[in-house]
Chain A
Amino acid sequence: MAKKQHYKHNNGAMYLMLSPYLLLLFFFGILPAIMGVLEIPKPSMANANGGWDAFKIVIHDFRFGPALRHVLGFMGIFVPLMIFFVIGMALMLDIKHSPWKKWLRMAYIVPASISGAVAVLVWYVILQPTLSPIKGVLRYFHITESSQIWQQQNLVYILAIMAFFAAAGNWILIQYGSLQSISTEVLEAARVDGASVWQTAIRIKLPLISKYIVYMSVLVFAGGLQIFVEPQLLNGGIYQGIADSWSFDQLSYNLAFMQGDFGGASALSILLLIPSLLGALLVIFKTDMFEGAQGHIKKKDVEIVGI
């Protein structure tokens, strides 16, 4: 009896702690989504008679196809690069204890402190042949003029590099943290059984942190799909028009604020919500990500704790 009351008390505290999140979720997540859906059928210059044709109109927009190509191309580079590089670096960082490790960890976090907006400026300078600190490297590849770099077909690579350096450091540390959660007994047992470092990494560690990897993949995917700041800044600030409506989010922004087509912009935003939502549902229901802090706790244990 006393125990039950103890849990009840915990629940109250839980809701209290949850309430700021729930409020923000409602006002900045659910409510805008509802308003967005209600906005779609209203008439606009592009959809003069109004109605749910807005979805059709936005999919047939002449910029939709290119935006899809750009974003898929960008994600085709960015997402695998992130996952392989981050996991590889985290596993290597986890191999041995050494006094260098904390410096290494700091080295990973430094590039991550450069946010997307600043990264645009940094990479502009690095890639601009007249300003670049790596002039020699650029010259080796016969790049002497900025027009060789800032072309539309190069943007997927440039933006993938920008996004990769801005995001990789943080994820390396997070995955390093997830590797730390593996119980030392398991690793000890592997070592006693004669597993090499490579085998331990691939056969033991990777399966144990797989749910964190899925979690990261979903977040990286959703983030990549919604790329906006980098191309928008390039377009407005550095090369006028080079990345106009380059990504879906930019197209949505242009529809709303340059063409006054709020309905079309909402339709596109709702379309973009679907893959991200599916990703989130995948994490919640198909992995045991949110079923306990430790991967090896069984479901039954979790239920007991939750009562």
Chain B
Amino acid sequence: MKRKYSVMAVATAVVVGGAMVAPIAAQAAIPSITIWVDAPRLPGAKLYATVMTGKVNVKVELHGQADLLAKVQLFNRVKKGWPDVVFGPPNDVAVLKNPLINNALNLDKLLTPAEVANFGHGNDWCKSATGTYCVKNDLAQTVLWYDTTLFKQFGYTVPTTMDEWAALGADIAKNHPGYSLGAVGDQGFYASYLWPSQCPLNQEKSATRVVINTASPKCTRVAKLLQPLVDSGVLDTRSYFDAGYVKDVGQAGKIVANIGPSWWGEFVLRPAGSFAIPAGHIATAPMPKWAGESVAYSGEWGGGIYTVSPHSKFPRQALDFAIFMVGDKRNLVTVKNPDGSFGAPTFPAYTPGNALWKAKVSSDKYYASNPFPAMLTQSSKIFPGEKPVRYDSNGAWGAAFAPEITKSKNLQKAIDAYGAYVSNLAQQLGYEVTKS
């Protein structure tokens, strides 16, 4: 009896084993990739995994944007574990392509001419003298967001110059105290004012030289023009995401207008958990122009990138994921997000994807008027002087600028504090810091 059972056990094991072996053999032909994304990109990535079933084995992992550098350095130590393709903040490309970290593949040979053409200037951020080290997910160019209901009520017209913007602020302070033109206590101040004004802060000129000069007239004019608005409280010294600002100003419907990135409407103004501005209020306009300038430049707040690891065995398949995210209707328009909205919230950097996103946003009844034209105008006007740098130029807004503006409420002092901090960081990482 006993013997019979063991024979049966062996037979069963063989059968089971055989069944197991067959799919493994079949799978070996299918490429496998691991994807890292943050929460807003997660629904699209999960969708991609199901779309590719049978063609590519896709493993999706959720990671905070700040996780990558720490993890990659640990993977470099143990020489395994690198994800194939990663969504990350725009500055990561400078760090990742650094030979010591070496986790951004040069995509020049991988991108097809059609793909290069479709990105156009939208991918300039990722290019350097030696190659293309990432592809842009979205452009985060700043535009002027305003509340049409409040504009009508107060009898305002949309400002087209920065002087008109300051005059608007002065009028709000005088006639409608409590209303706001936004906040300046975070990175938004850089994207909305300093970068469009061409203030040299992170202007990498080569791998060993960066220009940082907060005494430049392009920087001081920002502080001079806006300091009265800070003094009167029309520009709040808190961050846009400060719980108090969200409650007292954002959700109270007291933002008359603010300069913000292209994702501002879908991500900050609209969601119920955020400012929750009701439908029919919000419209966009092109950036106001600085006096004496010929172009009304934008800055960028965010505008994520995809990097492919040089350790990936399937770099083309990894890149395909990025192209899906920026060019496929299923991600840009139809995928359902956890908050009930549909499609990607950000302005795609890829022309075919952009057309799809345009169709979605333009017909959206939420906006008082079509917000797309102003975004399109500004998408080709992002001031190109600011570059990805090897130090954490974005984190420094929290570490150096925000504490100083909270303490002194003095814009120039806070800009100087930022400049001093990033100069230190830059020198430590092997840059020469120059004034021009």
Residues of A within 8 A of B (CB): 43-46, 48, 61-63, 130, 145-147, 150-153, 239-242, 244-245, 256-260, 262
Interface residues in B, total, Cβ within 8 A: 31
Hey, which chain A residues are within 8 Å of B7, CB to CB? none
Is B403's CB under 8 angstroms from A259's CB? no
Chain B residue, CB-CB nearest to A44 = B100
Which residues in chain B, 409-436, are within 8 Å of chain A measured between CB atoms? 424, 428-430
Kindly identify which residue among B70, B244, B428, B430 contacts A146, using a CB–CB cutoff of 8 Å: B244
With A151-B403, A151-B406, A260-B101 as given contacts, are A45 and B390 in contact (CB-CB < 8 Å)?
A: yes
| Subset of 12 A-B contacts with CB under 8 Å | A45-B98, A45-B430, A62-B424, A146-B244, A150-B406, A151-B406, A153-B407, A240-B402, A245-B399, A258-B70, A258-B392, A260-B69
**How far, in whole Å, are A20 and B244 apart by their CA atoms in the complex?**
51
Kindly identify which residue among B73, B397, B430 contacts A241, using a CB–CB cutoff of 8 Å: B397
Residues of B within 8 A of A (CB): 69-70, 73, 95, 98, 100-101, 186, 237-239, 242-244, 390-392, 395-400, 402-403, 406-407, 424, 428-430
**How far, in whole Å, are A63 and B98 apart by their CA atoms in the complex?**
23
Is B398's CB under 8 angstroms from A240's CB? yes
Is B428's CB under 8 angstroms from A244's CB? no
Seed contacts A43-B100, A262-B73; 10 additional CB < 8 Å A-B pairs? A45-B98, A45-B390, A152-B403, A153-B407, A240-B239, A240-B398, A241-B403, A242-B402, A242-B403, A245-B399
* Nearest CB in chain A: distance from B231 CB, A: 15
Is B390's CB under 8 angstroms from A147's CB? no
* Nearest CB in chain B: distance from A150 CB, A: 7
Hey, which chain B residues are within 8 Å of A245, CB to CB? 399
Is A257's CB under 8 angstroms from B69's CB? yes
Hey, which chain B residues are within 8 Å of A260, CB to CB? 69, 73, 95, 100-101
Chain B residue, CB-CB nearest to A150 = B406
Hey, which chain A residues are within 8 Å of B390, CB to CB? 45
Kindly identify which residue among A46, A241, A257 contacts B428, using a CB–CB cutoff of 8 Å: A46
Is A241's CB under 8 angstroms from B70's CB? no
With A147-B238, A258-B69 as given contacts, are A48 and B430 in contact (CB-CB < 8 Å)?
A: yes
Hey, which chain B residues are within 8 Å of A244, CB to CB? 395, 398-399
Hey, which chain A residues are within 8 Å of B238, CB to CB? 147
Is A257's CB under 8 angstroms from B70's CB? yes
Hey, which chain A residues are within 8 Å of B242, CB to CB? 146
**How far, in whole Å, are A61 and B428 apart by their CA atoms in the complex?**
8
Interface centre among A151, A241, A258, A262 (most CB of B within 10 A): A241
**How far, in whole Å, are A48 and B430 apart by their CA atoms in the complex?**
8
* Nearest CB in chain B: distance from A128 CB, A: 8
* Nearest CB in chain B: distance from A275 CB, A: 25
**How far, in whole Å, are A245 and B424 apart by their CA atoms in the complex?**
14
Hey, which chain B residues are within 8 Å of A146, CB to CB? 242, 244
Chain B residue, CB-CB nearest to A57 = B428
**How far, in whole Å, are A204 and B396 apart by their CA atoms in the complex?**
55
Hey, which chain B residues are within 8 Å of A46, CB to CB? 428-430
Hey, which chain A residues are within 8 Å of B428, CB to CB? 46, 61-62, 259
Main secondary structure of the interface of A (DSSP, over half): loop
Interface centre among A46, A48, A63, A260 (most CB of B within 10 A): A260
**How far, in whole Å, are A49 and B253 apart by their CA atoms in the complex?**
56
* Nearest CB in chain A: distance from B168 CB, A: 25
Kindly identify which residue among A45, A130, A256 contacts B244, using a CB–CB cutoff of 8 Å: A130
* Nearest CB in chain A: distance from B302 CB, A: 15
Hey, which chain A residues are within 8 Å of B400, CB to CB? 241
6 nearest interchain CB pairs? A241-B398, A257-B70, A244-B399, A240-B398, A62-B424, A241-B399
* Nearest CB in chain B: distance from A222 CB, A: 26
**How far, in whole Å, are A46 and B424 apart by their CA atoms in the complex?**
12
**How far, in whole Å, are A245 and B69 apart by their CA atoms in the complex?**
17
With A45-B390, A45-B429 as given contacts, are A152 and B407 in contact (CB-CB < 8 Å)?
A: yes
**How far, in whole Å, are A150 and B407 apart by their CA atoms in the complex?**
9
Hey, which chain A residues are within 8 Å of B392, CB to CB? 258
Hey, which chain A residues are within 8 Å of B430, CB to CB? 45-46, 48
**How far, in whole Å, are A46 and B390 apart by their CA atoms in the complex?**
11
Hey, which chain B residues are within 8 Å of A262, CB to CB? 73
Kindly identify which residue among A48, A63, A147, A239 contacts B237, using a CB–CB cutoff of 8 Å: A147
* Nearest CB in chain A: distance from B284 CB, A: 27
**How far, in whole Å, are A127 and B430 apart by their CA atoms in the complex?**
41
Hey, which chain A residues are within 8 Å of B398, CB to CB? 239-242, 244
* Nearest CB in chain B: distance from A233 CB, A: 14
Hey, which chain A residues are within 8 Å of B396, CB to CB? 241
Interface centre among A63, A145, A258 (most CB of B within 10 A): A258
**How far, in whole Å, are A256 and B73 apart by their CA atoms in the complex?**
9
Hey, which chain B residues are within 8 Å of A150, CB to CB? 406
Hey, which chain A residues are within 8 Å of B70, CB to CB? 256-258
* Nearest CB in chain B: distance from A173 CB, A: 37
* Nearest CB in chain A: distance from B250 CB, A: 15
**How far, in whole Å, are A147 and B239 apart by their CA atoms in the complex?**
11
* Nearest CB in chain B: distance from A131 CB, A: 9
Is B406's CB under 8 angstroms from A259's CB? no
Chain B residue, CB-CB nearest to A245 = B399
* Nearest CB in chain B: distance from A190 CB, A: 54
**How far, in whole Å, are A146 and B248 apart by their CA atoms in the complex?**
13
Hey, which chain A residues are within 8 Å of B402, CB to CB? 239-242
**How far, in whole Å, are A244 and B186 apart by their CA atoms in the complex?**
15
Hey, which chain B residues are within 8 Å of A257, CB to CB? 69-70, 73
Is A45's CB under 8 angstroms from B100's CB? yes
**How far, in whole Å, are A150 and B390 apart by their CA atoms in the complex?**
29
Interface centre among B239, B390, B395 (most CB of A within 10 A): B395
**How far, in whole Å, are A244 and B238 apart by their CA atoms in the complex?**
18
Hey, which chain B residues are within 8 Å of A242, CB to CB? 398, 402-403
Chain A residue, CB-CB nearest to B404 = A152
Hey, which chain B residues are within 8 Å of A259, CB to CB? 391, 428-429
Hey, which chain B residues are within 8 Å of A61, CB to CB? 428
